[in-house]
Chain A
Amino acid sequence: MPEPPAEAGTTIDMEAWVCPAPLRDSPNIVMGHGGGGAMSAELIEHLFLPAFGPAADAGMGDSAVLEVGNVRLAFSTDSFVVKPLVFPGGTIGDLAVNGTVNDLAMAGARPVVLSTAFILEEGTPLDELAHVAHALGTAAMAAGVKLVTGDTKVVDAGHGDGVYINTAGIGLIDERADIRPQRATEGDVVIVSGDIGVHGVAVMSCRAGLEFGTTVASDTAPLHGLVAAMIDTGADIHVLRDPTRGGVAATLNEIAKTAGVGISLDERTFPIPAEVRDACGLLGLDPLYVANEGKLLAFVPPADAERVLIAMQAHPLGAHATVIGRCVAEHPGMVSAKTALGGTRVVDLPIGEQLPRIC
């Protein structure tokens, strides 16, 4: 990592980036930086962290763990910029609650409180905002969290897509839990809690320019109940992560890199619903890279895997839980998959945004 600059805001030393002399590097933010893939990771590692300097303390997990006396708290924040605001199966309000609740749950925490900050575009119809706010409140009730503080700002028309929401949350970490990406270990079994690619397809189906009629509805849901059921088995869960932007592929790559393990998957086990597969086929996308919402990935030692799987399958949000692979000693930091035909392919970190293709 390059030395932090002497004063905040000085020029960023692009030459020191790990990627050798990038020929096409942009001096501006591009959409790919928000995609959850390699570009997002690079922005954090090579711009934000060095610029923050010694104040930064990044553990690379979805939540920060704070020790306050003998209590461990999880603290997390997330911003929601989904377009359109309302889509099959949910709204930006549902995502705003469940997204942060799930980040806390992935640390093994029971979510307690959320803050809600709104950035509103001038001209946004009030009934649209009310609809979103109502959905947010309902989701909070369902998740058992209180909305305790918030903020509202308005920006000029033409800036911001109607409504942007940021939520930050605090949760109480279960004392039995030591759940961190670094704990992924060779031999760990990788379990996904259910069908993949659902949320991304639901949102894409109403994106202007890509509309297609489908019955796929977003799978947004609060996962802390499922996580509690998993912890209650007494198993030593190593890693939990919800595969949102960038899909299962992005999440597994991040964990592989953080823990320094390889991950080997079996394509034949991936639980992909037919409609998701068809939508991805139509647009030329790979379901592994499509966003999920009410889903989690768990890394569990082999001795504990069966009871965790059974507990998940007994819970409504884990009914389709499936083993999709395991951690291996080979190719540390990389994810590979055995194809249905028996070949092998690398499952790479997505670069930026997934774009539909004609080829």
Chain B
Amino acid sequence: MCLAVPGKIVSIEDRDGTLMSVVDFGGIKKDVCLEYIPDAEVGQYVVVHVGFALQRLDEESAMRTLAEFEHLGVLKEEFTDGFELAAQQSGLDNPNARPDVAAETAAMTNGSTEVKP
């Protein structure tokens, strides 16, 4: 239900009495109907579903949300037990350690056993 993606308005025009726009989704440009956000401006981000802009994307809110997620990680590192942190960093016995992509690729190329995270 709801494959809606965020894109940036690059131009706005009236077509047959309908407010239309061209929206840029990171390089892909598509025609999008703006009738539901009539006061949208070029340069703003909107959420688009089946060729219609449904809502403005609140950029500040997006950045705040991402910052909150990062803050969770920072808190974890600051207040976590040192041993646990070391275990995480060494990748031993901890399912949450960040896998080392380069090491795994090398392992695959040399045919040695897979590096388990």
- Interface positions of A (Cβ within 8 A of B): 187, 189, 205, 211-215, 266, 268-269, 274-275, 278-279, 281-282, 284, 301-303, 305-306, 309, 323, 325-326, 342, 357-359
B109, A282: Cβ atoms closer than 8 Å: no
Segment among B19-27, B53-61, B68-76, B77-85 that sits at the interface with chain A: B19-27
Candidate in A266, A306, A357 with the most chain B CB atoms within 10 angstroms: A266
B111, A342: Cβ atoms closer than 8 Å: no
B101, A268: Cβ atoms closer than 8 Å: yes
Task: Check: B5 CB closer than 8 A to any chain A CB.
Answer: yes
A213, B22: Cβ atoms closer than 8 Å: yes
A323, B108: Cβ atoms closer than 8 Å: yes
- Shortest CB distance A302–B (Å): 3
27 A-B pairs with CB atoms under 8 Å apart are: A187-B111, A205-B28, A211-B30, A211-B31, A212-B29, A212-B30, A213-B30, A214-B27, A214-B28, A214-B29, A266-B105, A269-B101, A274-B26, A274-B27, A275-B26, A278-B27, A281-B25, A282-B5, A282-B25, A282-B28, A282-B30, A302-B110, A303-B111, A309-B109, A323-B109, A358-B1, A358-B2
Q: Sort A-B residue pairs by CB-CB distance and give the 8 closest, nearest first.
A: A302-B111, A213-B29, A278-B26, A275-B27, A212-B30, A305-B109, A284-B3, A278-B28
- Shortest CB distance B8–A (Å): 12
Q: Cβ of A309: which chain B residues have Cβ within 8 Å of it?
A: 109
Q: Cβ of B104: which chain A residues have Cβ within 8 Å of it?
A: 266
Distance of A357 Cα from B49 Cα, bound (Å): 11
Task: Check: B87 CB closer than 8 A to any chain A CB.
Answer: no
Residue from the list B1, B5, B31, B101 in contact with A359, Cβ < 8 A: B1
Q: Cβ of A214: which chain B residues have Cβ within 8 Å of it?
A: 27-29
A357, B3: Cβ atoms closer than 8 Å: yes
Distance of A302 Cα from B117 Cα, bound (Å): 21
Task: Check: B42 CB closer than 8 A to any chain A CB.
Answer: no
Residue from the list A212, A282, A325 in contact with B108, Cβ < 8 A: A325
